[in-house]
Structure 1
Amino acid sequence: MAHGTPPVVDDRVPVAEVHAPHAHTPYIPPDKSPAEMTIRGLVLGSVLGIVFAASSVYLAIKVGLTVSASIPVAVLSIAIFRALGNSSILENTIVQTTGSAGESLAFGVAAALPALLLLGYDISLTHAFLTAALGGVLGVLMMIPLRQGLIVQEHGKLAYPEGTASADVLIVGEQGGTNARTVILGFLVGGIYKFAYAGMKLFREVLSTPLKGLKSATMSTEVSPELLGVGYIIGPKVAGITFAGGVLSYLILIPAISFFGSGLNEPLLVHNGQLIRDMSPDQIRNAYVLYIGAGAVATGGLISLIRSLPTIIGAFKRSVETLRASRTQGAAPQLLRTEQDLPITVVLVGSALLILAIWLAPPLEVNFISAILIVIFGFFFVTVSARITGEIGSSSNPISGMVVATLLVTCLVYLLLGWTSSEDRFMALTTAAIVGIAASNGGTTAQDLKTAFLVGGTPRRQQVALFVGVLTSAMFIGLVLVTLNRGATATIPEPHPGVKVSEMTEETRVQHTFAWAVSPDALASRGLDEAALRKAVWAQGFELNTQGGALELRSWRDVTAQDLAAVTLSPTGGKQVKVSELGAVTQGPQRTYKEGYVRGADTPVPAGKYLVDEAGTIQYVVDPGIGGRISAYEGQPLTRYAAPKAQLFSLIIDGILTQRLPWDLVLLGVFIALMLELCGVSALPFAVGVYLPISSTAPIFVGGVVRYIVDRVRGGSAAESEFSPGTLLSSGFIAGGSIAGVLIAFLEIATDGAGTRALNLPATLGHEGGLGGFLNAVGESELAHPLWSNLWGLLFFAGLTFFLLRSALKGPSAAVAPPPHKGA
């Protein structure tokens, strides 16, 4: 930009540079009124918005990023309506507007609400819906009076890169261009590829190998289509910085902690008393490096916000001035179609109703003071966000910094008022989440209004479409978040004698038990021991427990002894065997456990949900899929979503309100971030890399390398725009891979795990020769060969990477319209 490079943030992946601003000439003149806000347009926009919102939720809890949905939605809208017959550019604009609303909500919801799990709460569907809907509506309402000042009067001064790029795509599509096949192809390839390894387990999701000569050092990578696509879109610089953070964690910090801590005979920090020398690299990361990473992320976010303060203050002043000027000019007797906004009464009445809804809605548990804070911060940050996205684009809009600032001020106010209970922490997070969603949606709404301004859309119709997009997406975003969490939640034995839960609920869980008369001879004849048997039983969704020397099978599913006897086990190092072949199974007593939560500052166990027996003793932890602390059990890896932003927000709340943090580790992260800034390196993407598993940052780096090659061959940023074939294919990868992950989670819940176990081909076919033996050797299996399974998975990932490279180099850009003789 003219005054230097804007700060790099990681809330949105960057987009291409926009061309220089030009004089406003609407593509559709005000005196023409083609079809615009149609029922089919609102329906298609809502459906596409839900799809991309789901993929954004998936991506946000996995790596703390989201991808702009505006361009893919616009491209798909043009293609779908063209296949149905015909459409106008204004109808496609309504679809693009409606669809893009979901992504902006998804980031705020998925970044903030998982922190509830880390504070010892569940994510409620009603709470998630209200947070998303009220925050989104707040963002749209605040932008209605700002449109005249920011979009109209500041035209030629505020570029709005994403909004201008969307207008370019819509105009080119009207002239016969765009290549929706690229997005659709990416969606199909990404979805099938994801289903192949995440559902059918045909190859491993994470390829990993220890590095000899450096204790506890590991290199690993996911073979993820969505992360490959993210890396391509953000480009080589940010992808490289993020991967460097992973290198620091896994090749420097973890080996250093292991080296210096291996001689300690006392545990440090960890709740279970485990010694460092007994920890795996992932356990060291969870116990120590996460705090370092959180300190670095918080510092990077605050530096980004501080660096943006002059822009924020100036943006707010200019926005207020232009708003005042636009309101004192008076309205013309007959407004042109392109100048008609929703009346100011809608804004005033809507804002009043919004305050009441936030205050009085029981699931939010927000008091009047917090409702006032939401309105104040919401107005300020929506105004700021709308201006910043116009000046430097959504990719440099520090939404996380705004949420952090809201959290800091809110928690300090609470601390002064003596509000430090777990309920107050819940309220603080809800306050910050609504503000973050409003700010995020305000920036996206401004981009959409700019698009309509350039193509000649009707503002009031677009504002109605924004409300529709917000409400329809809000209904599904919470469902996707809850589904992903529940689908990966694991109930794991973890007794804590003498520890009481903070809050007991009325919810209960029934456990079915079965006596299993396994003879030592039956095990010995098959070369099995109890440990191998325990792993094989767990792989089938059951628990093996020793009760007074006798074996007992436990299940949370309502099964009979006959059902259990027919289950086939695939023990490591042995042949497949049915449960009944090892010993008779007889029905035992049912046990009832109550659900309870551990919360607060002075708890000897981590905050979370637990199951307690009739005596009130904790027996199981219900470890969530999002932010869960247990990554594997009985040799089986568990699906876990890192949720880096949620971890950061919970750290801030705990740090201020409970004043109980390992500040030594947090401050290490703080000074790592400061060191990077002094070296001229943006700290935030690096800090996120420190926080994430290196397996997540490695495929992002690969995508960045592919982008680097394409830029060099095709001529750099001038050729690689927001609607280039590589970007469109990457968007398809992200959406397809993410949606496949969501569908697998739905299947896990709907079938209580039976459906996903049936899809698991290595386990279903067994490991005794033939195809089953091959898949167990190279697929996602406990029997996988360390070398060949890595090479097999790497082969698939290399193929996907080459496909992206070839398509990005050879494919036509959506920005190029076909020759006139080919027609529309």
Structure 2
Amino acid sequence: MSDNRNLDDAVNGIDPATNDNGVAGLPENAFRELAADEQYHPVMHPARDYREVTPYSVGMGLLLAVIFSAAAAYLGLRVGQVFEAAIPIAIIAVGLSSALGKKDALGQNVIIQSIGACSGVIVAGAIFTLPALYILQAKYPDIAVNFFEIFLSSLFGGILGILFFIPFRKYFVKDMHGKYPFPEATATTQVLVSGEGKGEKSGSQAKTLIIASLIGGIYDYVLATFKWWAENVTSIASEWGTALAAKTKLVFSVNTGAALLGLGYIVGLKYAFVIFAGSIFVWWIIIPLMGTYGAPEIASMEPGAIFSDYARLIGIGGIAMAGVIGIVKSWSIIAQAIGLAARELKGKSSDIKEVRWQLDISMKHIVYLIAIALIAVLAFFYFGVIHTFWQALVAWLVVVVIAFLFTTVAANAIAIVGSNPVSGMTLMTLIIASAIFVAIGLKGTSGIVAAMVIGGVVCTALSMAGGFVTDLKIGYWL
């Protein structure tokens, strides 16, 4: 066994004298760019077998996925933002392994985190589009919400998001090592590593999360039960605020719920201010200007109505343009991935021998799997949604092109800021899809349902791609 390990280490460029216990802290070069002749060595020793996929890790991962899916769906539908579940699930996994006395649990904790973190990813892909079908039922009674349409749109979107991103793995995870900060993956990795051999620290992290949950629950209970203060504090609750809104359309408001306060803490001060700046621009600049200098019918509207009918569309346009700019910036990455796939399909491959923990699935296999998935999506559109083949084919082309192009935008956003602008890219998808559907004669309720289901596929694909790049980076480090 020792000889085999040493031989394996020699092949993979690992010094067998290091990592005697199979697990060490993150190497010094984990977060910086590598020199030309330098190689990153993962925390888990490549020559050692670890317990990873076990009944405990899979079962606990699924349980946490269910719990955090419910929490993410509630928060997303309530405030339009979905929290990233990877970090709290990693803390729980480390705390549980410490409480249960599990040794060398890092591999299992990675699996728990990987499965559990899919909760927020899939929820984000579904809640921004599919609930609209239920809302539209009030206006169009002939719209029937089919469970299998919702289920299959999320399923196929998740599969496409994974398969479309695999060709980009090497670029984002390895080639850009030290250049992209990967804030969420960094925090999650450090939490997972901190649990190895440091039971008190890992247990204290889980304790902190439990205490924070209790504080949030008690806070919201007091708020909802005793009404000591309003959940939405707004200036129009006072006479001077109502008069100000009537004259200038200027409104001040803040949500004091625990979920939104916690969300601001999670995303951090910088990006909380980015969101705040967007709100200020719309509510304190755009709406007052439109209400003061706009057409008479706009000036007679309340600030909330101006936002719903006019100002919100400006934000959607800004998000859509950001998506276009993201595609343009990522075009070289897209071309590189397509070129790699084309070379492998022609039987050509790189002469550089990769160490075995950097081996990718054969691009031929990925292309075959993508082809199977795309055929299944086309069949779903034709038999389950649209029922006219050429219209289903057009819808299929829209999904394929947009999902593939936006995959790099989603991954790039996660790698840089740790937040996936999936809602904005989905809005752009709905705008493009709706325009195309009207052009090909797919109108009315059938067109609405088709646009929403197709938007759900694209939204889930982009969300899954963003979550997948985090998982792959964690795997690269560990």
**TM-score normalised over the length of structure 1:** 0.46
Q: Is the CA contact 1:136–1:441 (under 8 Å) kept in the aligned structure 2?
A: yes
Q: Is the CA contact 1:60–1:66 (under 8 Å) kept in the aligned structure 2?
A: yes
> How far, CA to CA, are the matches of 1:252 and 1:152 in structure 2?
44
Q: What are the ranges of 5 or more consecutive residues in structure 1 without an aligned counterpart?
A: 1-17, 270-274, 456-824
Q: Which residue of 1 aligns with 2:396?
A: 371
Residue 401 of structure 1, CA deviation: 4.1
Check 1:363–1:225 CA distance in 2 against 1; reply closer, same or farther (3 A cut): farther
Check 1:46–1:342 CA distance in 2 against 1; reply closer, same or farther (3 A cut): farther
Q: Which residue of 1 aligns with 2:61?
A: 45
Q: Which residue of 2 aligns with 1:85?
A: 101
1:224 pairs with 257, 275, 283, which one?
257
Q: Which shows bigger deviation, 443-452 or 81-90?
A: 81-90
State the AA in 2 paired with 1:227: L
Q: What are the ranges of 5 or more consecutive residues in structure 2 without an aligned counterpart?
A: 1-29
Q: Is the CA contact 1:74–1:92 (under 8 Å) kept in the aligned structure 2?
A: yes
- Say yes or no: does 1:180 pair with 2:206: yes
Identity of aligned residues (%): 26
2:80 pairs with 54, 59, 64, which one?
64
2:223 pairs with 179, 192, 197, which one?
197
Q: Is the CA contact 2:60–2:112 (under 8 Å) kept in the aligned structure 1?
A: yes
Q: Which residue of 2 aligns with 1:214?
A: 244
Q: Which residue of 1 aligns with 2:461?
A: 438
Q: Is the CA contact 1:144–1:347 (under 8 Å) kept in the aligned structure 2?
A: no
Check 1:288–1:207 CA distance in 2 against 1; reply closer, same or farther (3 A cut): closer
> How far, CA to CA, are the matches of 1:238 and 1:338 in structure 2?
33
Residues 716-755 of structure 1 mapped to structure 2, 5 A cutoff: none
Q: Which residue of 2 aligns with 1:95?
A: 112
State the AA in 2 paired with 1:42: V
Residues 32-431 of structure 1 mapped to structure 2, 5 A cutoff: 32-87=48-103, 88-119=105-136, 120=140, 121=143, 124-148=146-170, 150-176=172-198, 177-178=201-202, 179-198=205-224, 204-208=230-234, 209-212=237-240, 214-216=244-246, 219-240=252-273, 242-243=275-276, 246=279, 268=297, 276=300, 284-323=302-341, 328-329=348-349, 336=356, 339=359, 341=361, 345=365, 348-349=368-369, 351-353=371-373, 355-357=375-377, 359-360=379-380, 364-365=385-386, 367-390=392-415, 392-395=416-419, 397-431=420-454
Residue correspondences, number: 420
Residue 388 of structure 1, CA deviation: 5.0
Offset from partner CA, 1:121-166 (integer Å, 9 cap, x none): 4655433322222211221233344434543455455553432332
Check 1:326–1:181 CA distance in 2 against 1; reply closer, same or farther (3 A cut): farther
> How far, CA to CA, are the matches of 1:407 and 1:66 in structure 2?
20
Offset from partner CA, 1:587-640 (integer Å, 9 cap, x none): xxxxxxxxxxxxxxxxxxxxxxxxxxxxxxxxxxxxxxxxxxxxxxxxxxxxxx
Residue 203 of structure 1, CA deviation: 5.4
> How far, CA to CA, are the matches of 1:214 and 1:173 in structure 2?
54
> How far, CA to CA, are the matches of 2:380 and 2:372 in structure 1?
12
Check 1:123–1:308 CA distance in 2 against 1; reply closer, same or farther (3 A cut): same
> How far, CA to CA, are the matches of 1:199 and 1:364 in structure 2?
44
Residue 285 of structure 1, CA deviation: 3.9
Aligned Cα root-mean-square deviation (Å): 3.7
> How far, CA to CA, are the matches of 1:444 and 1:39 in structure 2?
23
Check 1:152–1:344 CA distance in 2 against 1; reply closer, same or farther (3 A cut): farther
Offset from partner CA, 1:342-391 (integer Å, 9 cap, x none): 8954762464145325533765447233123323332332244335534x
Check 1:256–1:315 CA distance in 2 against 1; reply closer, same or farther (3 A cut): closer
Offset from partner CA, 1:483-525 (integer Å, 9 cap, x none): xxxxxxxxxxxxxxxxxxxxxxxxxxxxxxxxxxxxxxxxxxx
Check 1:293–1:64 CA distance in 2 against 1; reply closer, same or farther (3 A cut): farther
Larger radius of gyration: 1
Q: Which has the higher helix share?
A: 2
State the AA in 2 paired with 1:360: F
Partner of 2:81, secondary structure, is coil
> How far, CA to CA, are the matches of 2:286 and 2:59 in structure 1?
50
Q: Is the CA contact 2:160–2:373 (under 8 Å) kept in the aligned structure 1?
A: no
> How far, CA to CA, are the matches of 1:335 and 1:373 in structure 2?
38
> How far, CA to CA, are the matches of 1:384 and 1:319 in structure 2?
14
> How far, CA to CA, are the matches of 2:57 and 2:194 in structure 1?
19
Residue 109 of structure 1, CA deviation: 1.0
Q: Is the CA contact 1:73–1:100 (under 8 Å) kept in the aligned structure 2?
A: yes
> How far, CA to CA, are the matches of 2:98 and 2:344 in structure 1?
39
State the AA in 1 paired with 2:129: A
Q: Is the CA contact 1:21–1:156 (under 8 Å) kept in the aligned structure 2?
A: yes
> How far, CA to CA, are the matches of 1:358 and 1:123 in structure 2?
20
Check 1:244–1:118 CA distance in 2 against 1; reply closer, same or farther (3 A cut): same
Check 1:342–1:51 CA distance in 2 against 1; reply closer, same or farther (3 A cut): farther
Offset from partner CA, 1:263-297 (integer Å, 9 cap, x none): x8xxx59xxxxx95xx8xxxx24433212222221
> How far, CA to CA, are the matches of 1:157 and 1:236 in structure 2?
22
2:44 pairs with 25, 28, 45, which one?
28
Partner of 1:221, secondary structure, is strand
Q: Is the CA contact 2:158–2:464 (under 8 Å) kept in the aligned structure 1?
A: yes
Check 1:342–1:80 CA distance in 2 against 1; reply closer, same or farther (3 A cut): farther
